[in-house]
A and B are shown apart, each in its own frame.
Chain A
Amino acid sequence: MKRFAKLIQQLELSNKTNDKIAALVDYFNYADDKDKIWVIALFTGKKPRRPIKSALLKYWAIEITQTPEWLFSESYSNVGDLSETIALLLPPAQNTSDFQLHKWIEDLHDLEGKDDETKKNFILNAWNTLETQERFIFNKLISGNFRIGVSNKMLVNALAKQSSLDSAQIMHSIMGKWNPYEITFTELINGLHVNTDNSWPYPFCLAYALEQETEKLGDITEWQAEWKWDGIRGQIVKRNGELFIWSRGEELVTEQFPELHFLTDVLPDGVVLDGEILAVQDKQVLSFSTLQQRLNRKTISKKQLDDAPIGFFVYDILEFEANDFREHPLSKRRKILEKLIGSLDESAVILSPVINCKTWEELAELRQTSRSINSEGIMLKKLSSHYHSGRKRGDWWKWKINPYTVDAVMIYAQKGSGRRANFFTDYTFAVRDGENLVTIAKAYSGLTDKEIKEVNSFVTKNAIEKFGPVRTVKPELVFEIAFEGIAESKRHKAGLALRFPRILRWRKDKKAAEINTLEDLRQLLASTFING
């Protein structure tokens, strides 16, 4: 545990990727094999089952420190993390312990099914033998996620460096299905488990935003242009009679989309497709807000199935006849894909169309019409490109259309959480509605650290009222808010809601009197509504 605590500290202390990788390599060089398995599991989001509810941890911490509950809440809102709040509140440990990470995890696992008194004794005992940093980690093992800025890619790079194995292979292995209680470290990084597992997906190939002129990309005939769809990127895996749907968040979402289950019968075995999960009706893409009704639901009603039917727009084929096809050029993959999907003739699984243009100008013009078909722009993929693991510059570009924008005034501010726990970083914005201001969006990203400090000091000086953590502020600061879409909403006073609002820039040049009106937004809503 001490070694792991040190690793976490090193990862947190540096914001340089190379330092983080060095710390990880160092850890993987010296740590116990069983511990390493758990570190990989924890960092890739494979949490052990929670034997104890975090509410109980909080309750016990409050009890032994005799902290009033409201004071605990104040502390929590300042610290921004429950595990850490508890670790800091507790009195210094009276004893010491030096168990390995996996031992703690196994002991916690054994608590499952035990009565609360046994659990409580175990936890209090543990708290009393651990230093603050170890306590924090111990609490995290029970209650939370490790969000310490280690991406899967970073972890894989460290493992590859330490083991001298191929990084794509390791990415493959750790993304598959494996049980940290059973697998050994060698088995895991060598990927011995993935061949026997039907479900494993490939790492998604991702694109960077296009920064240069399209002309600089060379001849347009070397490129494949497609619409960029605004849904949930997904991978459909069909092997040995089983169907799996993975989302980009590396989550298995098969159950959520029954419309696609027929693929079990029609897709041949040994096929993996990359595409976009979208709300689709009559082969037309519906807005993201329609799709949203279907996301993250445990059960789906008949009405939801009718109102928001799901379809899959297929981009690419990664595996065919049980062979990894990612090293083949896109042009060849596309041919196979067209043959495969074309033969299906299904309304829920549609080949994402290729846009044929002779010149970049022609394509640029067409791009301006993206919104009319609920697309957010164009994807450019080099015809000779392989299907890369993760983000690689050069072969794939996303060329999004500019977002909608609105000028709005800040009227509420709230302190952030996590690394921004002590600054007012979450703002609510309003537009004019006659004499009144009506809120239209809440946004918390888009400003630089320096601007946040500046806004923070404005809020401190111009707070009018205080509602818990929220401050009402003088309507003075004007911001340009970018957003991706607009939808009717009964929940909001304005009667409409913006999708993915974020701060584009601070309009220091504008006064509150010059902001947009609710009528402006209503007109926009009316114009987009026609397009579904």
Chain B
Amino acid sequence: MALIEFTKRGIYCKQGDFYVDPWWPVDYAVTTHGHSDHVRFGNKHYLCHTLTKPIIKRRISEDLDVETLNYGEGIVRNGVKISFFPAGHIIGSAQVRLEYKGEVCVISGDYKTENDGISDVFEPVKCHSFVSESTFGLPVYKWQKQDIVFDKIKSWVNDNISQTKTSVLIAYSLGKAQRLIKNLAGDVPIYVHNSIANLNEVIINAGVNLPETIRITPETTKDELQKGIVIVPPAMRDSRWIKNLSHPVTGICSGWMQVRAHRRWQSADAGFALSDHADWTGLMDAITATGAEKVYVTHGFTAAFSRYLNDQGIESEEVMTKFGQEDDEENKVDLADAEATNTDIESPKLV
């Protein structure tokens, strides 16, 4: 019997009677990370990484019943050993390793192989079967080193400041925002939207070292923002608040910005190809390193990526999941925050 099966509710381990990142309520949910397409409301019990606990409590509910593990630690459920390894996707993101009677299966959740300076670095884990994402599973998606991308962002910001434009970066409030803060911190002050500031607080309280940022309030002046870097979540993108800033220019940080068509489609002023997902090379390296005999490909370019793996002699199968809807979900989650904040910061004081 296979260690995991793909069911309507999500990835299920029958022997251990638990689900990994289920999208319908279950009794026992093992959670890879805090993005809303991977962790949902309504499970009776959650198992996640220590750093993910305060994040999901903040984002979903304080009342969640949450049990935690550190990387390398494990517990046993009905003979199945569950342990966590760094996935490098965002703070607290974990690959879930399952072992039962010598058979090992690893569910990667979302991952990236490059060190982003803030999440624990991805660690390949040997296994028999591997569940991989394929968000960027096409060979046109190969990232530049993040230092190069951050240099581009910094020089964009400096140009903007000298031309009296306001630099507004659009980034997911969980993950991308903290990565930007960590890597852009320096002489230029960073101003963050409420929803990001709230998460930063949670992350700092959990013991993560995050550079100082300034929460945007009704008292923050347009002039201050123009001389700084403004980071807001995607839901704020077309907001009146941004339009009212002093000569606002928006920059989107996402792997999709690798391709011109997507840059234009997003109609932002600048696009930076910076992703928290593995690129083509990263996916291939990670999969090779696991030595897996069988690879299940979930969200992304599943068909193409899976076919390529098979061509390369790695047995693979594509699996339909509800992962990868971060964009929609993130927008919804943040909208509530954003609306609350909108009324806050769209006060007449911004002159």
Contact = CB atoms under 8 A, between A and B. Distances in A.
B304 A74 contact: yes
A75 B140 contact: yes
Interface string B268-308: 01110000000000000000000000000000010010011
Nearest to A19: B269
Contacts of A68: 308, 311
B263 A12 contact: yes
A191 B116 CA distance: 55
Contacts of B142: 88
Interface in B250-278: 256, 258-265, 267, 269-271
A266 interface: no
A89 B271 CA distance: 19
A74 B259 contact: no
B308 A422 contact: no
A420 interface: yes
Contacts of B141: 88
A210 interface: no
A423 interface: yes
Nearest to A73: B304
Contact of B308 (A71, A81, A85): A71
B139 interface: yes
Nearest to B259: A79
Interface in A55-79: 65, 67-68, 70-71, 74-75, 78-79
A84 B141 CA distance: 12
A86 to B, nearest CB: 9
A418 B140 contact: no
Interface string A157-194: 00000000000000000000000000000000000000
B328 interface: yes
Contact of A79 (B261, B307, B308, B328): B261
Contact of A75 (B138, B261, B267): B138
A462 interface: no
Q: Is the interface of B mostly helix, strand, loop or mixed?
A: helix
Interface string B216-259: 00000000000000000000000000000000000000001011
B261 A74 contact: no
Given A68-B311, A74-B301, A74-B304, A84 B269 contact: no
A457 B325 CA distance: 10
B140 A422 contact: no
B261 A81 contact: yes
Given A65-B139, A88-B140, A457-B328, A78 B265 contact: no
A422 B307 contact: no
Contact of B139 (A12, A89, A417, A421): A89
B308 A78 contact: no
A112 B80 CA distance: 67
A268 interface: no
A302 interface: no
Interface in A419-465: 419-423, 449, 457
Contacts of A151: none
B261 A418 contact: yes
Centre residue among B139, B140, B267 by max chain A CB count within 10 A: B140
A369 interface: no
Contacts of A85: 140
Interface residues of B, number: 24
Centre residue among B256, B261, B262, B269 by max chain A CB count within 10 A: B261
A98 B304 CA distance: 37
Nearest to B267: A15
Given A74-B301, A75-B138, A457-B328, A88 B264 contact: no
Contact of A78 (B140, B264, B271): B140
A71 B307 CA distance: 9
Given A15-B267, A457-B328, A422 B262 contact: yes
B337 to A, nearest CB: 20
A467 to B, nearest CB: 13
A14 interface: yes
B232 to A, nearest CB: 19
B259 A421 contact: yes
Contacts of A79: 140, 259-261
A475 interface: no
Contacts of A88: 139-142, 258-259
A13 B270 contact: yes
A80 interface: yes
A418 B263 CA distance: 10
A55 B260 CA distance: 22
Contacts of A74: 138, 301, 304
Contact of B138 (A12, A78, A418, A449): A78
A70 B307 contact: yes
Nearest to B141: A88
Contacts of B262: 419, 421-422
B308 A80 contact: no
Interface string A119-144: 00000000000000000100000000
Nearest to A72: B139
Given A71-B304, A74-B304, A78-B259, A89 B265 contact: no
Contacts of B256: 422
A71 B265 contact: no
Nearest to B312: A68
A420 B265 contact: yes
A466 to B, nearest CB: 9
A292 to B, nearest CB: 30
A81 B259 CA distance: 10
B258 A419 contact: no
B266 to A, nearest CB: 9
A71 to B, nearest CB: 6
A411 B270 CA distance: 36
A12 B261 contact: no
A12 B138 CA distance: 23
Interface string A30-49: 00000000000000000000
19 contacts: A12-B263, A12-B264, A13-B269, A15-B269, A75-B139, A80-B261, A81-B261, A85-B140, A88-B142, A88-B259, A417-B261, A418-B264, A419-B264, A420-B261, A421-B261, A422-B256, A422-B261, A449-B265, A449-B267
- Report, nearest first, the 8 A-B pairs whose CB atoms are least far apart: A88-B140, A419-B264, A74-B304, A419-B265, A421-B261, A80-B261, A75-B140, A419-B261
Interface of B: 138-142, 256, 258-265, 267, 269-271, 301, 304, 307-308, 311, 328
Given A79-B260, A422-B265, 8 more contacts: A15-B264, A15-B269, A71-B308, A75-B138, A88-B139, A420-B265, A421-B259, A422-B262
